[in-house]
Amino acid sequence: MSLKYSLIFALCLAAVALSNTERARYDNYRVYRVTASNLQELAFLKEMEDSSDALIFLEGVHSVDKDIDVVVAPHKVPDFLKALIDHNIDYVLLEQNLQSRLEDEDDTEIRGRAGAYGWQEYQTLTNTYTWLRSLTSSYPGVVRLIEGGKTYEKRSILGVKISYNNGAEKKPGIFLEAGIHAREWIAPATATYIINQLLTSEDAAIKDLFQNYDWYIFPHANPDGYVYTHTTDRLWRKTRQPHGTCYGADPNRNWDFHWNTVGASSNPCSETYAGPSAFSELEAKSLSNYIQTLEGKIDVYISFHSYSQYVLYPYGHTQELPDNVNDYERVFNVTVAAIAERYGTRYTGGNIYDAIYPAAGASVDWVYGNVGTRMSFCLELRPGPNSILTGFRLPAAQIIPTGEETLDGVVALVNEVKALGYFV
């Protein structure tokens, strides 16, 4: 993991509860890289991860001989270093002051607010919801506004159903979920780009997707968190429901499928906090309820995240592979090839557990295991893991290129699933 990548993760994982008049700061927070050389050291690091709000372990503690980057609050540095020395755990200092590193980044583009709806800037939740509503009048009988439930702060989880020929015939269904992690702005931007292309493109491959499939698209699966990234903390990840003295749970660790068995935390202040119980977060629970009403109608499920450029498929809770893994591998291969064709963007991936890290309780796994959807994917969008770009703060100039190549991948994905006989 590059220094730049580590620093951005550190920024993103600082869980600080702030009022709407304050903005998150990380003055004098340090980043250390530690490595456990045996199971005893790994267990000690895991204990530290679960016991201290002043230490933020990036991506969790999972493996021996794997570098683990840790954000350390200023007052915790002496105790942290003493504990590492006492347990003979190797470490190296990566950054002394995260705030100065943050201020070095030019985020002019990423904080832009477009007057008219488009893909030159990142949009607010209000702008996107207004645009979604407008599509129902611009495309009557084709676009229908749908609600995937409510949030803790009583916002609607709005999406659109796109059905050519007014749903007069039964067609395969494709469900696209984005923005479940609030700070990953490129995910909802890509989802809305695809909505627009489905409705306006004259490209034959995209028109085929529009005319021959029913689409259920939710650009913002975590609206409260997304609003918070605009008003208070650009790098907020979780929901906004309070849990003790901390706020939010990871809505992509909260689904009731092997919940909190691996790759999640029981610490309410952790960025991967699974919640006090499965479906404790209204966002995950209400969206799952809506998805269950579509059982038998969803043939492909796609979840957009960022970043690292992965195409992923079940499972996240185990190394055990799905029984149709050979089909997943075929779809994976054509998808990453299609994404690379336009701009040369290189994706990797595979099953979640091995390709990226263990992560139980994700939407992709729950859908695969509970509603009969045999093709369920997560796409981690731009930038790549070793990019000099700032991760979640992807410049707005890359929204359209990301949307173009991602749609190329979706076209290939859907066509390969069709060739494999999943649409009957």
Give, in order, the Cα–Cα distances in Å from 288 to each of 109, 283, 294: 34, 8, 10
- How far apart are alpha carbons 231 and 43 in whole angstroms? 38
Contacts of 92 by beta carbon, 8 Å cutoff, 6+ apart:
32, 33
Q: What's 391's DSSP letter?
A: G
Distance CA 246, CA 52 (A): 13
Residue 78: both structure tokens together:
């002496």
End-to-end CA distance of the chain: 43
The single residue of 121, 271, 380, 405 carrying the catalytic annotation is 380
Do the beta carbons of residue 263 and residue 357 sit within 8 Å?
yes
What is the DSSP-derived secondary structure letter of residue 232? T
Write phi, then psi, for 160 (nearest 5 degrees): -130, 145
Cis bond before residue 395 (omega within 30° of 0): no
Whether 380 is catalytic = yes
C-alpha distances (whole Å) from 23 to each of 114, 230, 288 are 22, 10, 32
The Cα–Cα gap between 331 and 319 comes to 19
* Residues forming a β-bridge with 175: 216, 301
- The residues carrying an active-site annotation are 380
